[in-house]
Amino acid sequence: MNKSERTAIEPRREENYSEWYLQVIKAADLAENSEVRGCMVIKPWGFAIWENIRINLDRMFKETGHQNAYFPIFIPLHFFEKEAEHIEGFAKECAVVTHSRLETNEQGKLEPSGELTEPYIVRPTSETIIGASFARWVNSYRDLPLLINQWANIVRWEMRTRLFLRTTEFLWQEGHTVHETEEDAMIETLRMLDIYAKFAQEYLAIPAIKGEKTESEKFPGAVNTYCIEAMMQDKKALQCGTSHFLGQNFARASNIRFQNREGEFQYAWTTSWGVSTRLIGALIMTHSDDNGLVLPPKIAPAHIAIIPIYRNEQEREMVLQLANKLNNELRQAEFEGIPIITELDDRYLTSSERNWYWIKKGIPLRIEIGPRDIPTHSVIIFRRDENPKDKHRVMIDEVLKYCKTTLEEMQNHIFQKAKEFREQNTVKIDNKEEFYRYFTPKNAEEPEIHGGFAHSHWCGNPLCEEKIKEELKVTIRCIPLEAEKEEGKCIYCGQPSSQRAIFAKAY
């Protein structure tokens, strides 16, 4: 797009990426900040995206044998104290309930009263409270595996918040499973990681790298943490999902024991895994452009906006007759097994205003129908993954076929575009000076967009990892699971290394 050409979103991505992100959310009417510090109100279009994420992921979980349940939002303080590493990892983010009611004081003001004998933590994650239930539910190897998921809200008292990416309260799902053997638990951990990666690719059109976190980046209390990492358009990484092999740590803390096949009691092996409304932030930053939100069709709340164009009531009646006919036909169709959802927009606004309304909301296709189109038996169709001015004239009897085919093409095209962007901004670096240049702005005025993913050797020493983080604000995002072992020298200290890690700046 020409720099002089006006766009719907200002500033543009290359001018101020952080502000661009917030303006896309505002223009698409996805969410807004709440009066409650650090919390957000998810508006209908944004929540509809989350519902599509939830519906499709939930189906994938159930296809692999998981069941949904619900557990309390309040966790007794002493539950957290059972797992030392876990409480240390979350202590600074915990919201704590210490009183049970409000009373009016002598000055007529409300103040907390009824101090609790033990404080409750508002869940930052649920391993400990769910573990208490699992300890009652699991008695024999015949009870295993136990595969549970819950859809819930989480509270983490973040210091710096940003809509969808990091908020004090957010929505997520958390899976918790119990297994008879270490091998079974590890298989489950990696199976759920595969599901997250598959969902990211097939529904969100986000190419994700599966990998293992380093010791300093893993989930508090886990033995191993695995993740999917994606590149945003400012070339930073975003962790889009995690799956944790917990070993027997939480089983010991919660006393989850069972009688094994030899009749002896032993501690179980557990896992946990989760994704959150952060995925909506990932969608925005991976695909959107300077005109607003861009949504992959398989996750969009609606697929087609039909926009009638007319100058008077006579034209309106004539155009609406065709618009309603097309609307009814499209609503009875599917693409890739997904029912097509349409929006017939007949609001008393100009056609330009209605078009830009849907462009900014990221609806995949827009169909314009005007009085001049009726004699030609055709309509104009616009794709959201193209320039807003690019249009396609389609014969009316071909519209249904065209829309079904194009929605499928768009899903793949949006994914391929994101994948190509990641590949273009991923490099192998084996020289320390080059590594530092890659992640350092050339000058103070340079926009935030710089760097990318660096595949570089790391010796495994956490001190090297910490020094790079301290000096460049760059972290090891993961050690890719599908990367081949390769001998080399650590990018920081020069000591021998047998693996490359992905280094990047991250959210």
**What's the mean per-residue pLDDT of the chain?**
95
More confident residue, 474 or 82: 474
- Please report which confidence band the pLDDT of residue 414 belongs to, taking 50, 70 and 90 as the band edges: very high
Look up the CATH architecture of domain 300-410: 3-Layer(aba) Sandwich (3.40)
Topology of domain 426-504, CATH: Translation Initiation Factor IF3 (3.30.110)
pLDDT of residue 137: 98
| Long-range Cβ pairs for the range 351-357 (8 Å, 24+) | 351/307, 351/309, 354/305, 354/307, 355/307, 355/382, 355/388, 356/8
Q: Same CATH fold, 426-504 and 17-287?
A: no
CA distances from 230 to 87, 166, 205, 300, 468 (A): 28, 16, 11, 20, 20
Tens-digit pLDDT profile for residues 282-310:
999 999 999 999 999 999 999 999 999 99
Domain residue extents for the chain: 17-287, 300-410, 426-504
What DSSP string runs through 445-500?
TS-S----EEEEE--S-HHHHHHHHHHHS-EEEEEETTSPP--EE-TTT--EES-E
Q: What pLDDT is stored for residue 264 in this prediction?
A: 97
Mean pLDDT of 416-435: 97
The Cα 304–Cα 264 span in angstroms is 61
Query: pLDDT tens digits for 181-195?
Result: 999 999 999 999 999
| 411-419: average pLDDT | 98
Nearest Cα neighbor of 261 from 141, 177, 88, 351 is: 141
Give the CA distances from residue 363 to residues 70, 298, 409, 432, in Å, rounded to whole numbers and listed in that order: 34, 11, 15, 45
270 in Cβ contact with 178 (< 8 Å)? yes
> Per-residue confidence at 269, pLDDT binned at 50, 70, 90?
very high
User: At a CB cut-off of 8 Å and minimum separation 6, what does 70 contact?
Assistant: 150, 152
Mean per-residue pLDDT, 207-213: 98
Kindly tell me the burial class for residue 264, based on how many C-beta atoms sit within 10 Å of its own C-beta (0-12, 13-18, 19 or more). exposed
Q: In the chain, pLDDT over 70 holds for what percent of residues?
A: 97
- Note the pLDDT of residue 84: 64
Q: Could you confirm whether domain 17-287 is CATH 3.30.930.10?
A: yes
Task: Name, in order, each residue with C-beta under 8 angstroms of 88's C-beta and a sequence gap of 6 or more.
Answer: 220
The per-residue pLDDT for range 149-168, each reduced to its tens digit, is: 999 999 999 888 999 999 99
pLDDT for the residue 3: 54
